[in-house]
Structure 1
Amino acid sequence: MTDHELIEYRNKKVYNGNININILGRLCVIEYSNYIDKWITILDEMNNDNTYKLAWGRAIIEICMNMPDKIEDEKVTITFKDISKKVLKYYWNQIFYFDLKQSDVKKKKRPVIETITYKLIDSYKEAYKTTKPEWFNKVYPSNNLQLDQAFTKAIIKEIPSSLSKDVCWRFPKVKDTDDIGIYTLYKKEKYIELDSEHVIEIKLLGNILVQLFNYKWALLLEKYNYSPKIANKIKGSGDEEVKRNNLTQYRKLLLLQFAQGEVRDFYTGEVISMDDISIDHVIPWSFIYSDDIWNLVVTTKSNNSSKSNKIPSQDDIKRLEKRNRELVEIMKVNEDNQIKKYINDLHYANENNVIREFYNYFRG
């Protein structure tokens, strides 16, 4: 759809309200139609005690956003299978990669889809003899026939069954209205149908809708998790791949500590050759979800790849705290405008006991 067609389409719609949103420091008013208002009403009326509806709604929105700009048919069909694959990806990445609990298991039994996800995670660990978390898109499909069959069964049968029983008909039910009318449900056939013009509306405002769903999801998970940056992790759980930064920029700074001698492995104390240096997060990146100099150390490539998401030892944490106190003093001697930010980050972490706090959260 061209810009001209979008303008013409927008002018035909009867708009119902607006969203005030901050974009690059400027307050912008985003108008939305009666149909989009129904999505916002559903989200506003949703009881924030279960992630099923959030996963279902987000999946539908993202599927619509990935559809072609030019839609020929008047109706668009979305199968439970397509929704289930999205839902499983959200749960897999949040639970396995980011270690986010989706419910309070101390008070109640895990929801069915969450239980299915945990079983698949256990199957993956057993199949590959590993505890290292992996991103969903790198796990399914795989070259392991038995594991693929388990995933396929979950996506085609088990998760659609749960969505059919607990979610699909409840999602559009708000207040005294049994169906607010955002899609036509074919429960027995396990698919939903949307008007093509409604799909176009979702494509226009989908990014904002997804952010609203993610925000509510984050509020819920904050009840069960002490993990930092929950909102960012929920947002990232729908990505096709893990977005990691290159840590090369930190190498020169970390090596300042060894300017007068040999480079030594943070964990073992052994000498490292320059071509075997790797930069590692002591508290795993999947928990911190950021690259902070106070959490980065020098180690060997083999130690880095084998460390996975293991909980650091108390000795590791004490050694890291000591390293940071030493490093900030060394950096002050070499201070220039380029490293001032890193000095401030180290100083803040040292003064506010940041490492110990994150470490205690990570251990649970």
Structure 2
Amino acid sequence: MPMVAKQDFFSKWLEIIKKSTSQQQYKREFIDMWLAQLNSCPANSTITPVWMLAILEQAGRTAGIPGRSDIAIPITSLAQNVIKYYWNSTVFFNLRQGSPTAPLRSIIQTIEQLAKRYQQSGHAPAMYHQAGLQEKFLALYLKCQDEVCRFLQNHIAPQLAPIFYTLPEQEEVINMPLLNLLALQENMNVCLAACHWRWAAILEKYNLAPRLLRKTVLSYQGAEPENAGKHLLRYLELENPSRSCFFCGQTVEEKPGLAHVLPWRYLCTEEIWNMVLAHKGCHSSRGEMPVEIEVARLEKRNRRLLLALENLTHNDQQAARLKQVVQEGLLRKYYQACQQQLS
């Protein structure tokens, strides 16, 4: 082989290696940004991890087109994924997806309307893939899909553009660069696990205890944090301005003077419906599990506290959670579940 030909061959080979190395570096940086976005997404709504999960599902089904530098993913397809996820999570499993004031509420209400029609027709509760919504209620399903599409396109999709994809004007698609698509496909398991973990972490803030994810994280930090729940004093003192001890009735002078009625190691969280003002000695001298009369007294206290916070239940997470616990009788359910687990 002539010397010039050898030099030309090695020059082209080096270009290929450099290009491949550059692409791999880009993919790693893209996945790092994807995971960072998940980690920093708002904690009052599950829409961001659900949106990213919908993109992942479509990415797994999509093949690159020769000669194209980006791939168009229809928002309609993403909306169908979102409807499926929220049907299963909200309609079938009855899980709250975030704060009642979060923008996500409009999507949930749209899907709940579809569910109401489904239930009125006498159908038993079913997972999305078993419900046959598009066959049985096509017109209503398409209406739901259109409303979810508009919400995603106007409110959710712009949040991750142009880092992960672009949004062409007057087109109901996201254009994802081919390298981004390949990065997701090559790291699908990691990205799926991260989306599900983040979704579950947000769900734990608004749904039935025990909070297993939070327990896992806090297990590295040891026992209950010192002065846990002191930020809740302002709520409790509205109902108990004299700072009477929940257990003995005498004034609590110590600060913060707070106690959990149901054990912290079961709930692993601080919420006003389970927190009371109490002397440290009174709290430590009782057993870990409350007795029936304490639970009944806490139920009454929570109803009084709800009256004191009624004007906050629409825009305050603690007050909204208290209202949910009182109206759905969750304290009693938590107590029974706690007894079974810790007995």
Residues 1:77 and 2:66 aligned together: no
CA, structure 1 residues 110+62, in 2 after alignment: closer, same or farther (shift >3 Å)? closer
- Residue 184 (structure 1) shift: 0.9
CA positional deviation for 1:51: 1.5
- Does the alignment pair 1:193 with 2:178? no
Do the aligned partners of 1:77 and 1:192 also contact (CA within 8 Å) in 2? yes
- Structure 2 CA distance for aligned equivalents of residues 359 and 122 of structure 1: 35
The change in CA–CA distance for 1:10 and 1:202 in structure 2 (over 3 A counts) is farther
32, 35, 56: which one aligns with 2:30: 35
Q: What is the distance in 2 between the residues matched to 1:360 and 1:224? A: 22
Contact kept? 1:140, 1:148, Cα under 8 Å:
no
1:38: how far off? 2.0
Query: Partner letter of residue 169 of structure 1?
Result: P
2:108 maps to 114
- Tell me, in whole angstroms, the C-alpha distance in 1 between the residues paired with 2:159 and 2:340: 39
CA separation of 1:169/1:110 partners in 2, compared to 1, >3 Å: closer, same or farther? closer
TM-score for both structures, normalised by structure 2: 0.53
- Does the residue aligned with 1:58 lie in a helix, a strand or coil? helix
- The structure that is strand-richer by fraction is 1
Question: Out of 11, 17, 23, which is 1:13 matched to?
Answer: 23
1:207 positional shift: 1.8
1:56, 1:184 → 2: CA distance? 15
**How many Å separate the matches in 2 of 1:123 and 1:182?**
37
Report deviation, 1:60. 0.6
Unaligned runs of 5+ residues in structure 1 are 1-6, 17-31, 173-178, 232-352
Distance across 1 between alignment mates of 2:87 and 2:102:
20
Q: Measure the CA separation in 2 of the matches of 1:9 and 1:93.
A: 43
Matches within 5 A, 1:222-237: 222-226=204-208
- 1:354–1:47 Cα change, 3 Å: closer
Distance in 2 of aligned mates of 1:217 and 1:194: 23
1:47 and 2:42 matched: yes
**What is the TM-score when the length of structure 1 is the normalising length?**
0.50
- The one-letter amino acid paired with 1:190 is E
**Alignment identity in percent?**
20
How far residue 205 of structure 1 moved from its aligned partner, in angstroms, is 0.5
Q: Is the 8 A contact 1:113 1:162 kept in 2?
A: yes
Which residue in 2 is equivalent to 1:357? 337
The Cα offsets for residues 235-285 of structure 1, whole Å up to 9 and x where unpaired, read as xxxxxxxxxxxxxxxxxxxxxxxxxxxxxxxxxxxxxxxxxxxxxxxxxxx
Aligned to 2:132: 140
Match of 2:60 in 1: 65
C-alpha separation between the residues in 2 aligned to 1:116 and 1:78?
Answer: 23
Q: Larger C-alpha radius of gyration, 1 or 2?
A: 2
Which residue of the partner structure matches residue 149 of structure 1?
A: 139
The number of aligned residues is 205
Measured in 2, the distance between the counterparts of 1:10 and 1:89 equals: 38
Provide the rounded CA distance (Å) in 2 between the counterparts of 1:48 and 1:357.
Answer: 26
Aligned to 2:151: 162
Residue 89 of structure 1 aligns with which residue? 84
Change (3 A) 1:203 1:229: farther
Alignment correspondent of 2:118? 124
Asked whether the equivalents of residues 116 and 154 of structure 1 are also in contact (C-alpha less than 8 Å), the reply is: yes
What does the per-residue CA deviation read over 1:102-133, in whole Å, with 9 as the maximum and x for residues that have no partner?
1244x678711011111111011012x14x32
Is contact 1:62-1:206 (8 Å) kept? no
Q: 2:51 aligns with which of 48, 56, 65?
A: 56
CA distance in 1, matches of 2:18, 2:50: 32
Q: Distance in 1 between matches of 2:152 and 2:334?
A: 41
Higher helix share: 2
Deviation, 1:12, is 4.9
| Cα drift, residue 150 of structure 1 | 0.8
197-206 or 45-54: which moved more?
45-54
Q: Distance in 1 between matches of 2:148 and 2:335?
A: 39
3-state DSSP class of the match of 2:154?
Answer: helix
Structure 2: give runs of 5+ residues left out of the alignment: 1-16, 214-332
Partner Cα distance (1:10, 1:102) in 2: 42
| CA RMSD in angstroms, aligned pairs only | 3.3
Separation of aligned partners in 2, 1:169 and 1:110: 15
Change (3 A) 1:84 1:230: farther
Counterpart AA for 2:131: V
What is the deviation of 1:55? 1.4
1:71 positional shift: 4.0
CA distance in 2, matches of 1:358, 1:142: 41
